[in-house]
Structure 1
Amino acid sequence: MKKQIIAAFVSFSVFCLSTAALAAAPIKIGALFSVTGPASFLGEPERNSAKMVVDEINKAGGVKGHQLELITYDTTGDATKAVQLANKLIKDDHVVAIIGPSTSGETMAVIPVVEKAHVPLISCAAALKITEPVKSWVFKTAQNDTLAVDRIYEQLRKEKKTKVAILTVSDAFGSSGREQLKAEAGRYGIQILSDDTYGPKDTDMTAQLTKIRASQAQAVICWGTNPGPAVVARNAKQLGLTIPLYMSHGVSSKKFIDLAGDAAEGIRLPSGKVLVADLLPKSDHQKASLISFKRDYQHHYNADGDHFGGHAWDAVMLLKGAIERGADNPTSIRNQLEATRHFAGIGGVFNYSAKDHAGLTKDAFVLVEVKNKNWTLVK
């Protein structure tokens, strides 16, 4: 009888330990960021922000008793490599969701992988076609380029400028921006007098800008990610181009000002609110999250938290919210992401639905301008 009691006690103890171990199993989240390579200005702050917020969540006890395990790979901005690493995250690492990639081209390449595997992806890239039409397993945190286009065109209409020149980079991000600039022009009474492109590795855009200078354009809109737009800014200054120069949200970080130098002065662009968080009214729903994010990033990395790092912060926090609401596998996480409402993040206030996996409105953007080598809010 005594042996039976001991055996039962041992069995019960093993069961409890096994149950505790099972309950405490970490939840694996994958991340694909362009930490090195041409898009490192995107991927490095994204990687840093994701790691920062996951560490903070884990130090606070995790989510519903689970620690989050972040498995991050550097895609170097290469779409083929991104696909290979997405498969590795799904088949070898058994992640429940993937954050990233950093760029639109990589994201479009990875979408068929996650759709086939039924693993939710929260992209940090901006192209409209990432989530339009809606894909069941694909979400995004970067603001749609259509919203950025609308913000620029609204300002031009306010200033009664109706003739523009557009200069876009010949990659997925630039192509999407060019498409939206042309598609939205009519709604705002905008006439595009010059429509030109440049290559992602081009180091001189003087020819395109000389053509624009000879036109009757009242403003130039450049659509790309660093370093190309900084080259455009410097070339425009060298040519003495005096009409307003607008950039896309693809350069929404201090890195652009560093690259463009004095030529950045006066340039305007649509941006998430993080660049001007301190200038926002207290009533702004995002302000608390923005200030906290900037303070934490400065503490961890001795650098400014930016628009791009915010995409990854939002992605982690959206997953945290899904897990808090009971999700613990790819399907339930997908379902809870789609049910997310009124999440005030860094990129905006997110409201996902079955018909909208981007979740933001034009209110996610403010118009900013470079003054004295810093960002100011255009009112």
Structure 2
Amino acid sequence: MKNMSKGLKRRLGLALLLVISLLISACSPTKEADVKSTTASANEPYKIGAVLDISGNSSSLGVPERDTLLMMVEKLNSEGGINGHPVDLTIMDNKSDETESVLAVKTLIEKGSLAILGASSSGTSMAMIKTVESEKVPMISLAAASSIVEPTSDRKWVFKTAQSDIVMISKIISYLKKNNLNKIAFLYMNNSYGDNGKKALTAAVKNSGISIVAEEKFDANDKDMTPQLSKVKASEAQVVIVWAIPPSASILTKNFKDVGLTIPLIHSHGVGNQKFIELAQGAADDTLLPIGKLSVAQQIPDNDPQKKVLESYIADYAKKYNSEPNSFGGYAWDAFNLLVSALEKAGPDREAIRGELEKTQGFVGISGVFNMSPEDHNGLKEDSAVLVKVDQGKWKLIE
């Protein structure tokens, strides 16, 4: 009995030591466990959301933007992401609809997106502003209207990459003065993009010696602008300026030739893609427009600071999609890279990301060299644009 008692005591002692050892191990993780925990934290994805006009009236804008973002996030993640963090990009289609834009941006914010890219057009971008401002989430629009980022006192969280309408109108005004064209007809879409174009043009011609002798508007879904153009033909207009996007911009261009107008036709940068030319069915030749330098990258001087960036984007896009990119894809390229640059410095902190975006200086992008500030959330001036002409279905640099 004594020996059995001693054996039992020995076994109980060993069992007790094992229990104590396990308890100590549970309370004190090994260095290996610490490494695994740290690694998991370091590889936490950075969530980014994008709301784009992939279908609907503005799809000619949203599709190249989507394709550009998909290409870029794939490339970034293959190279290690942002400081070791992969980027988790969710793209939502707003169907070129303002209500759908609001629903999409709310969904992305609820899913934890650190920032929002989009939307593609001015109206869908404007629709999202109230949400991102109230939720304090940085947003980088890909649209043109100045009112998207102005006044900055009411747009603390909103930035944009497309040149503002006033920048492009300044380019047009310079051309008009140089060619002694002082009586203009203005036609514009009945939406935020068109309204902002009208506002900017009205302000630009004031005290300039240039007058608007005819003004007509049309809806994005209109299939015939002949009535408006017939009124223009009967006016004293020496030049027609149009503020619209395809497909209506293309239909108007065809109607312009059909009614026999021979005065210069100047479009906005809203038609800066090959789709505009294709939909115009041969009528786009001789059309003028101010646009970013991407479409004429091979024609700009070699010492232009943007040239290498433009050529690199063109090569990457052509390799991926076997086609050439356009200005709208360029707006997405700029937005994505501006956000990546901010995330590299700020990390996953929305307020810090917003602050870094606002401090952007000398960022060489597709749309120009960006210099932002608390007073300027676009950061592009007139030197970001060139004047081009459609010549035999291709873009030709004029000045």
**Fold match by TM threshold 0.5:** yes
Are 1:42 and 2:61 matched, yes or no?
yes
Equivalents in 2 of 1:341, 1:329: separation in Å? Answer: 20
Are 1:22 and 2:41 matched, yes or no?
yes
Which of residues 313, 332, 337 is equivalent to 1:293? 313
- Counterpart code for 2:181: K
2:57–2:220 CA contact under 8 A, matched in 1:
no
In structure 1, the partner of 2:296 is: 276
In structure 1, the partner of 2:385 is: 365
Q: 1:12 deviation in Å?
A: 2.8
Q: 1:206 deviation in Å?
A: 0.8
In structure 2, the partner of 1:123 is: 141
In structure 1, the partner of 2:95 is: 76
Please give the root-mean-square deviation of Cα atoms over the aligned residues, in Å. 1.5
Which of residues 174, 195, 207 is equivalent to 1:175? 195
In structure 1, the partner of 2:129 is: 111
In structure 2, the partner of 1:165 is: 185
In structure 1, the partner of 2:334 is: 314
Aligned-residue identity in percent: 42
Judged with a 3 Å threshold, the aligned counterparts in structure 2 of structure 1 residues 13 and 7 are, in CA distance, closer, same or farther, namely farther
Residues 231-270 of structure 1 correspond to what in structure 2 (within 5 A)? 231-270=251-290
- Counterpart code for 1:78: D
CA deviation digits over 1:263-308, x for unaligned, max 9?
1010000101100001111111111111111111111111210000
CA deviation digits over 1:127-176, x for unaligned, max 9?
11001101110000011000111111110100011110000110110111
Q: 1:325 deviation in Å?
A: 1.9
In the alignment of these two chains, the number of paired residues is 378
Equivalents in 2 of 1:327, 1:10: separation in Å? Answer: 28
- Counterpart code for 1:364: S
2:49–2:116 CA contact under 8 A, matched in 1:
yes
Q: 1:25 deviation in Å?
A: 0.4
Equivalents in 1 of 2:123, 2:141: separation in Å? Answer: 11
Q: Gaps spanning 5+ residues in structure 1: where?
A: none
1:28–1:68 CA contact under 8 A, matched in 2:
yes
Equivalents in 1 of 2:343, 2:195: separation in Å? Answer: 36
In structure 1, the partner of 2:4 is: none
1:276–1:375 CA contact under 8 A, matched in 2:
yes
Equivalents in 1 of 2:133, 2:299: separation in Å? Answer: 41
| Stretches (4+) displaced over 3 A | 1-11
Q: 1:14 deviation in Å?
A: 2.1
Are 1:102 and 2:86 matched, yes or no?
no
Equivalents in 2 of 1:309, 1:89: separation in Å? Answer: 21
Equivalents in 2 of 1:375, 1:305: separation in Å? Answer: 13
In structure 2, the partner of 1:328 is: 348
Q: 1:6 deviation in Å?
A: 6.1
Q: 1:187 deviation in Å?
A: 4.6
CA deviation digits over 1:6-60, x for unaligned, max 9?
6688533222211110011010010000111111101000111111111111111
CA deviation digits over 1:192-236, x for unaligned, max 9?
000111111111111111111111111000110111111111111
Partner of 2:50, secondary structure, is: strand
Partner of 2:282, secondary structure, is: helix
